[in-house]
Structure 1
């Protein structure tokens, strides 16, 4: 099983997700969105798995100006802006193959481990 955690180093939910897998002895790969980022292919795969970019948007983003600008963009431009400014992406995003979950969702991750 190949688990990937896309997150931010200072995000408490990302730290909780890492701890969840560490405590169960499950290897995972951590990708810092603010440092390395997410490729367009990864973004599209996760977007499809979680039901659209709307479910990936962090409405509590600290950059309120960017969030306000985001609301006025067209749908195509919104996806490009999220990929460009990954601070808009809600974390953690945990992915296993074609399955993905946004936020701290141990009940979903447990199903993957069965």
Structure 2
């Protein structure tokens, strides 16, 4: 059974986040949007995505925020990076989407479609 609702973590100004929202709404799937600009992602929720993809896969290495953060040059712990990501969601490849047991990172229409196959 496909999920009747997906949880979408993103930023309103993110084109990929808006694309995901549109994808699910066009398919009449209820979207619970968590705007990371106003409410940081819970550490436990972020941990789910890290467990599946690894922290590096979640980071938007091409983005301006990553460049400005100097994360590429810092020698730091994973916990410190996680704390930075919670403070600065634009460091993530958004959106993070959870539908049932399926998780996706970034703009991933194939992954979103898999969520709906259930």
Return the TM-score normalized by structure 2.
0.83
- Aligned equivalents of 1:113 and 1:89: distance in 2? 24
Unaligned runs of at least 5 residues, structure 2: none
Runs of 4+ in structure 1 deviating by more than 3 angstroms, as ranges, are none
Paired residue for 2:95, among 85, 92, 95?
A: 92
Deviation, structure 1 residue 108: 1.4
Unaligned runs of at least 5 residues, structure 1: none
- Aligned equivalents of 1:105 and 1:32: distance in 2? 19
Q: Considering only aligned residues, what root-mean-square deviation do their CA atoms show, in Å?
A: 1.7
Q: State the number of aligned residues.
A: 112
Which residue is equivalent to 2:40?
A: 37
CA contact (8 A) 2:8 2:34 kept: yes
- 1:13-28 alignment runs, 5 A limit: 13-28=16-31
- Aligned equivalents of 1:12 and 1:84: distance in 2? 20
Return the TM-score normalized by structure 1.
0.86
